[in-house]
Amino acid sequence: MKINIAIDGPSGAGKSAIAKALAARLGYEYIDTGSLYRSIAYIADRAHTTEDIEALIQVLEEHEIDYRAGSAYVDGRAVGDEIRTERISSLTSTLSKEPEVRAYLLALQRRLANRGGTVMEGRDIGTVVLPDAELKFFLTATEEERARRRYLQRKESGESVSMEKIRADLHNRDLQDSARAVAPLVQAEDAILVDSTSLSPEEVVERMATYAEDADVL
Numbered residues of the known binding site for ATP: 9-17
Report how far apart the first and last C-alpha atoms of the chain are (Å, whole number): 6
One-letter amino acid for residue 35 of the chain: S
Cα 163 off chain centre by: 24
Angle between helices 53-60 and 99-113 (to 10 degrees): 20
Taking the CB of residue 109, how many other CB atoms lie within 10 A of it? 22
Phi, psi of 150 (to 5 degrees): -65, -40
Closest among 194, 22, 10 to 120, alpha carbons compared: 22
DSSP 8-state symbol, 126? I
Enumerate the known binding-site residues. Answer: 9-17
